[in-house]
Amino acid sequence: MSLGEEIEKASKEIVNDGYDMSLGELITLYNEKELIINPEFQRLFRWKETQKSKFIESILLDIPIPAIFVFTTDEGTWELVDGLQRLSTVFEFVGILRKTDGTLEPPSVLRGTELLPSLKGISWKAGNGTHCLTNAQQFQLRRRRIRVEILKRSHPQSKYELFQRLNSGSVVTNQEVRNCVMMMMNPDFFRWVKELGEFPSFKNVWVSSKKQEKTQHAMELILRFIVYRNVTRSSSDLDVNAYLDKGTLELAKLALNKQFDLDKEGSIFKETFSLIDKAFGKEAFKRYDKENNRFLGPSLISAYEVIAIGVSKSLVVVQKQSEEDQIAFVQQQVKKVWEDPTFKKYAKAGIGGATRLSKLLPLSEHFSDL
């Protein structure tokens, strides 16, 4: 197939139709449950009050608003793919945004902005000391039009790929985008990964900073563990994030079709981190100083990748040993990792992620033989 033919084929698979609609029409569709926002998906991103106020400001000032993307379900309803915060902000402001349990979120109260400082304390309906928009201003908001792009029903995977493209390089992180893709593709898979992140031994061996907690770093670490173990990299130059994106989508699809055993993989995850926790605790992925026989500095992602995967691959062997011998084995092998010439060369700062993986992941395959 030529490039021109590939472009024509791919273009037809992405957008089916599109037209402008008023926010009032979208409000009606949402009220009548013909426009669906997955409540769990909705929780993944939360704009701050200042961001919500600035968006309402943009509507009132006729500042251009980016298009939203919806996917037509088998039932004929629309599922929101991109535009979550924009529409959620409007629905919350007018008092119709639903929570996971079906009850309504409290209507938001705006803050003053640089261009419209009088927005401070404004709500959709007056009450509890707040003022509301005038009828004319409410009509203006409801009549504001926004472009709605509609994805074909016959190509459901397009919505996941489109969501990634629309959000890659934005203010959200790669993992936050990945979380939403998991939620859209297979909510059970997303919840399974999230539950693994609460496993005490995992939380103990890698203590996330406040910044890492905000950017869903723990979810990324878990996906690195699961994807690296179960999905083969297609080429040595595949970007790490592209590898994680591809692997996450592949495993979520397999799990949806009961072709990936979540219970089995979850048990391996827990056994792995329980053993690492017993052997090292919070020092598990810190740099080993052989001369002073101690671990120093912060936890390193390169150590995490080799050690966690390596221990998981060794479980079949160590499970036959006593707990004391299992712990001694892990302690011995981890120290050998830090002395390995290949690890020393490619685990240091400045090495690209793709190069690091291609050189270091093989060490995890031979963890028992180091």
Q: What is the pLDDT of residues 307-361, one digit of tens each?
A: 999 999 999 888 788 999 999 999 999 999 999 999 989 888 778 888 888 888 8
What contacts 232, CB < 8 A, 6 or more positions away?
A: none
Contact predicate 147/68, CB 8 Å:
yes
pLDDT at residue 259, rounded to an integer: 95
pLDDT at residue 62, rounded to an integer: 92
DSSP 8-state assignment for residue 208: -
pLDDT at residue 154, rounded to an integer: 47
Helix axes 135-143, 49-60, angle to 10 degrees: 90
Tokens of 285: 């992925």
Ranges of the chain whose pLDDT falls below 70: 4-16, 39-45, 128-129, 152-172, 213-215, 235-238, 370
Contact predicate 273/205, CB 8 Å:
yes
What global pTM score does this model have?
0.71
Per the DSSP assignment, residues forming a β-bridge with 15 are 151
